[in-house]
Each structure stands twice: as C-alpha cells, then as structure tokens.
Chains A and B, each alone.
Chain A
Amino acid sequence: MRIEEHPVLDFERGEKITFTYNGQEIEAYPNETIVAALHAAGIRQLGESPELHRPRGLFCAIGNCSSCFMTVDGEPNMRVCVIKCKQGMVVESQKGKGVIRV
C-alpha cells in the first residue's frame, strides 16, 4: 500500500510503470526502488538464504547489508533496495547464490 496523505511529506511519484516479479506484473514508479514497489504490492519475502533456504526479506534498505539479493534482468545478487524501477524490467527471486550468465 502507498501512503496517499502525510502530515509532513508530499510524494511526487510521476508516471506509473510496470515490471514483472516472478512473472507477476507489478505497478511501480520510476523514482522508487524495486523493494519499495514490491512492498507496496504486499511482497515482503524477497528470496531465500543460500544454504538453509530460509525465507529472506529486507533489512537495511540503504545498500549496507545483503538481505535483499534478487536477480534483475538476469543479473543475480542485485541489492533491490537501492535499484530504481524501470519499465519492463524482469525481477526474480533468487535461489542459492545465483548464476552469472555470460
């Protein structure tokens, strides 16, 4: 859910765009991070831990930790908390350590 009314802030979001997350279409705005768009859509599990396969979510939201690794347009281990949304991008939750496609 997005905040529509706030006592201090005005959110200028711009034109709506879409990208896919595991094949599902997600609405987003170009100035927001992938993880913000996923949270707005109610998606909080982003992947799983590489060895014990426990579910993983967001922790720091500013690119410090590695909790939010996902595969973006085929590139694994992307910190989706600091990557902005782009029209048509393909976001996938990642199993294991990810494969770098050459």
Chain B
Amino acid sequence: MKQVEILVIGGGPAGLCASLAASSLGAKVLMCERDDVPGGQLVKQTHKFFGSEKQYAGDRGYQIGQMLVEKVAADPNIEVWTDTTVLGYYEDGVVTCEHEGAHVKIKPQRTVIATGAAEKFLSFPGNDLPGIYGAGAVQTLMNVSGVKPAERVLMVGAGNIGLIVSYQLKQAGVDTVAVIEALPRIGGYLVHASKIQRAGIPVRTGYTILEAYGNGKVEGAKIAKIDEKWQPIPGTEEDIKCDTICLAVGLSPLTELCWQAGCQVEFIKELSGHVPITDDFLETTVPGVYVAGDVSGIEEASSAMVEGRLAGLSAAASLGYGKDVAAEQQKAAMAELDELRAGPMGERIRMGLEKVAAKGGAK
C-alpha cells in the first residue's frame, strides 16, 4: 500500500494547481492522471484565456498547461503517476487505482478530487450516427492529433465551447455551416460570437436540431426555429447538409469518486448537475476530502486553476503545513474566485454556490 500525504486525483488545470499549491507549503503530493500526459483539457485549448494576470490571461490554454506541467515535473515534492486511472474510494480511506497495468492501493492523508467533467449528450432522432461528436472530441482530434476532423459542421450550442470550437474548426480549415442555439440568447462570451460571425459563421439563436439523417453516417440535419415553449414552429424547418454534428450542450461534473467517498452530493442545476457540497475551503462533507475544478460545478478553466490552488492550500494547511502563510494565501485565492465570478457572466455560478452553502448549512 502506497502511503501519501496528499493525493490529487486528476492532472488537469485544477489538479495541477492543487498539487503545486500543496507542495509550495511543503506537503508531499501524489498526482494521478489517467492520460499518458498531464494537462487535462488544457492541451487542446488553442485560444487565449481571459481573466487577469493572476490566471495567466492572454496566454493560450495549451501554453498555460505546458507551463503548469513543467512546474509540476520539476517539483521534488510532487510525484506524478500518468496512465493511472483511479478506480475507487473505500470507507477506510483507501483509494485504488490501475497503475502501469497493476491494481494499486493508496492510503492518502488528504485527497483532492479534481476529475473534471464529461460532455453532455442530446436526444434527437439519429443522434447515434457516426459523425455526431461532442464538440470537445472534435477539438481533441484537430488540436491534439492534428487530424482534420470534418468537412462541414453543424454546431449545436452557443456557449463558450460551441463558439470556440467553431472558431478553431475554421483555423483547421473546416467550415461550420451554422452554430444553432435553442435559447434566445448566446450563452458564451459575445467576443467569441463576434469573432466567428465576422469569419462568416452564422450564430442562430432560437433554433433546435430536429433530427440527424444519413445512411450509416451523418449526411445532414433538420433544424427548426422554436417558440417560447420550446416547440418547433411549423414551416421554419431547414435542411442542413453536413458530414458532422458537434454537440456543445454543456458538461456534467464527474462525481463518481465523491459518491464513493460518501460525500454529500446534491443536484444544483446552476452548477450543471450533481455536485459535492463543500465549505469555503473546498472541503467536502467527508473530512480530508477536497474537490476543485469542474467536478464541483462547471465553470471556466481560469476558475478551475484558482479552485485547485485553494483546495491544495487547504489540504496542506490541514496537515499543519504553511502555518504562517496558508491563511493569507487561501484568502487571496478566495478573493480571486470572487473577482472572476463577480460579473453578470458569473451570476449563475453565484446562485449555485449560494445553494451549496445553504445545503451545507442544513446538514
């Protein structure tokens, strides 16, 4: 059995920052990543990040990922296990994983769960045809593997992922026929929408996909305008010829390990699904188990990095590390999160977090 002070599960933006923060206070960390390289979904983010200098704003996501991965690799306090899938969290606090083809047990003193999220699916006739992808999958194919993933794309969803992936498809030489969005308004940042509009990609709000069709593969889709009751308006149907349909309809937190650990988990729609209830320091209702990033509610990667830092600091501080500085650094991270969430785009998250606080208080 492997004994560790702090186990960080997941090597994405939150996990990397949690590991670095815990180590900076002197704690010894084991970070487990299921992929063969850490970085999570930062590896495919070719656009420049928003936020402020403190969250590396202006650098491209994959550059931030590389920088964090290099820092972690050079940190003597952090051990990294790649190709390692964490399988279970048991009631005696033992965590099991598949590591280098073997079943390995880990006994951590503290755990930070930073498992991220999965892309949501959408139900419509023909939705299982080859050629229907999560928008993130297409991003992986083109930005990680360098493979042209499609010829003509219909993008479903005008949140940040749908808008950004449409832009990145254009950068890879692939045309997006339209971005359709069922809501009457664009959910992502308007600068992303403006950027693709002036590149000739129309963003059409108030439209839904009725069906995908094709013989063994996507050959097209039927879309229609919807009314305020979300019903297709007869006579507005359109036939869109495309070989690919990307679904960018949101993410779901990957909370399996939180459930296994016995954390209180509640459905909070503003945070995009079931999320663990935490205190201000990101500790769950199971003492010693912390969460950070999309697993605790879907947000931008900038927030995931700061949450990771906060969870890492909190886990290390609870072991007695950084007595003089931890409180101040935790406070600074919380202030950064408040700042990132302060605007109108953060309203949904703020409402979700209020519900988290209320549910936690009710316990």
Which A positions have Cβ atoms within 8 angstroms of B? 1-3, 6-9, 11, 13, 32-33, 35-36, 39-40, 44-46, 49, 54-65, 81-82, 84
Contact = CB atoms under 8 A, between A and B. Distances in A.
Contacts of B148: 1-3, 40
Interface stretch (B130-138, B189-197, B287-295): B130-138
B147 A36 contact: yes
A97 to B, nearest CB: 17
A44 B134 contact: no
B133 A3 contact: no
Given A61-B141, A63-B34, A7 B171 contact: yes
A84 B131 contact: no
Contacts, number: 98
A74 to B, nearest CB: 16
Contacts of B279: none
A57 B136 contact: no
A84 to B, nearest CB: 7
Contacts of B128: 49, 54, 56
Interface string B20-39: 00000000000000111000
B147 A58 contact: no
Given A59-B132, A61-B140, A45 B217 contact: yes
B101 interface: no
Nearest to A32: B145
Contacts of B118: 60, 64-65
B137 A36 contact: no
A61 B136 CA distance: 8
Nearest to A1: B148
A91 to B, nearest CB: 16
Given A1-B147, A61-B141, 17 more contacts: A2-B146, A2-B148, A9-B46, A11-B146, A13-B146, A36-B147, A39-B141, A55-B217, A57-B130, A57-B131, A57-B133, A58-B130, A58-B133, A59-B133, A59-B134, A62-B35, A84-B36
Given A1-B147, A60-B136, A61-B141, A6 B216 contact: no
Contact of A3 (B35, B60, B172): B172
A3 B130 contact: no
B143 interface: yes
A9 B132 contact: no
Nearest to A54: B128
Contacts of A49: 128
A58 B145 CA distance: 14
Contacts of A40: 145, 147-148
B104 interface: no
Contacts of B41: 62
A60 B119 CA distance: 7
Contacts of B119: 59-60, 64
B108 interface: no
Given A3-B142, A3-B148, A9-B46, A61 B217 contact: no
Interface string B110-151: 000000001101000000111111101110111111111100
Contacts of B184: none
A59 B128 CA distance: 9
Contacts of B138: 61
B173 interface: yes
